[in-house]
Amino acid sequence: MKLLLLFSLVALAQCLLHRIPLRKGKTLRQSLQEHGLLERYLKQHPYNPAAKYFRTLVSSEPMQNYMDSSYYGTISIGTPPQEFTVIFDTGSSNLWVPSVYCTSLSCSNHKRFNPAESSTFISTNESLYVAYGTGSMTGILGYDTVQVADIEVYNQIFGLSETEPGDFFYYSPFDGILGLAYPSIASAGATPVFDNMMSEGLVARDLFSVYLSKDEESGSFVLFGAIDPYYVTNGIVWIPLSAETYWQITMRSVSIKGKAVVCQNGCQAIVDTGTSLLAMPNQDLTEVLRALGATSSGEIDCNDRYSLPDIVFHISDAEFPVPPSAYVTESNGVCSLGFEGMDVPTESGEMWILGDVFIREYYVVFNRGTNMVGLARLP
């Protein structure tokens, strides 16, 4: 309550100072932008606590939790804006949405971008192909205004899908994908949305942070340019990246009951909001299932679910446990582990993917300014 009052008083004072009316339905940021005063405000108040919370609040993008398997939010593209739901995916770097040119069944039940209805769309002759672990798309590239939360990015390059093979995207509750990894892995060399946010000075800090809710509850968000102090009361462990491609880090080992069962000599992992489960090399999966007493298909006796041990990830000089409440799911009386085998070879060996099963236990900061990932135990 005190924080909200402080924010309101500072906002009111700034509006009186600059004679900016707080019109109904407009945020302070929007009013400042309209009068060309936003950048001056941020420069004049770099250490003002109220200004920090102001940035935090106005740059937050809420996400819908769909069955704890995917998290997506709403963006708009074009003038006037056309809305789409997208996965905010730290495991890829391209933005794309279905288009009116798409001939695949997957596009038939999703919103489709129509460039003819946008006065700011700029076409290109460039093609795009993006492949994921569960699907792919082909299409063409174009430029238009993209709005995420209250941040407008002008002349953002994005993909307009023409084909989306298979049925994965048909059954997906979201329309497209907004990649938040590094430009080095962007297909067709397309500049990622967050890179344009940084280069155009649209975020207070060159980072974004993510909170994923559990049990299909609301409250998930991605926060551009700020760290929400509520979620880092237990402190942040900063982990340097081992490669500026995905959000890739080095793990020292993975232990169960105090014993390193896999990754004993170190291995690579990526922190990926676009992957639902914990993915690991198939050989490691076999060892983990054996250590937990699960079947080869990952099933366990539901009576044992609460007596299973934590899986502990040793990263840098810290330990990051994932309890059985996070990695065991129950459906129709059958309990299974939220792991999958996936062989992803790299120059440094096989790759682990720390997906939503892991991320739900931590508040994650993706820092482009320092090329680090920050992990904070949730309060």
What CATH code is carried by the domain that includes residue 274? Answer: 2.40.70.10
Asked if pLDDT for residue 15 goes beyond 90, the answer is no
Question: Residue 224 falls within a domain, yes or no?
Answer: no
- At 132-186, the pLDDT tens digits run 988 899 999 999 999 999 899 999 999 999 999 999 999 999 999 999 999 999 9
Question: Residue 217 falls within a domain, yes or no?
Answer: no
| Model pLDDT, residue 35 | 53
pLDDT-derived band of residue 223, with 50, 70 and 90 as boundaries? very high
* pTM of structure: 0.84
pLDDT average, residue stretch 368-374? 98
Based on the fold, state whether residues 34 and 77 are members of the same structural domain: no
d(CA 149, CA 158) in angstroms, rounded, equals: 17
Asked if pLDDT for residue 25 goes beyond 80, the answer is no
How is residue 251 written in tokens? 């793990």
CA distances from 84 to 44, 146, 376 (A): 35, 11, 30
Q: Tell me the residue type at 244.
A: E
pLDDT average, residue stretch 66-87? 98
Based on the fold, state whether residues 171 and 124 are members of the same structural domain: yes
Based on the fold, state whether residues 317 and 272 are members of the same structural domain: yes
pLDDT-derived band of residue 29, with 50, 70 and 90 as boundaries? low
If you average pLDDT over every residue of the chain, what do you get?
A: 87
Question: Residue 61 falls within a domain, yes or no?
Answer: no
Q: How many CA atoms lie less than 13 Å away from 312 in the CB half-sphere?
A: 14
| Model pLDDT, residue 224 | 96
How is residue 317 written in tokens? 């000089």
d(CA 88, CA 149) in angstroms, rounded, equals: 12
Instruction: Locate the DSSP E strands across 120-236.
Output: 122-131, 136-148, 151-163, 176-179, 207-211, 220-224
Based on the fold, state whether residues 284 and 348 are members of the same structural domain: yes
Question: Residue 208 falls within a domain, yes or no?
Answer: no
Residue 18 or residue 63, greater confidence = 63
- Give the percent of the chain with pLDDT over 90: 80
Range of the domain at 234: 229-377
User: What is the tally of structural domains in the chain?
Assistant: 3
d(CA 224, CA 222) in angstroms, rounded, equals: 7
Active site residues: 89, 272
How is residue 259 written in tokens? 């014993």
Longest Cα pair distance anywhere in the chain, in angstroms?
A: 68
DSSP 8-class letter at 113: B
| Model pLDDT, residue 2 | 34
Based on the fold, state whether residues 81 and 10 are members of the same structural domain: no
Distance of CA 366 to the CA centre of its chain: 9
Q: Give phi and psi for 226, each to the nearest 5.
A: -155, 165
Asked if pLDDT for residue 203 goes beyond 80, the answer is yes
| Model pLDDT, residue 33 | 54
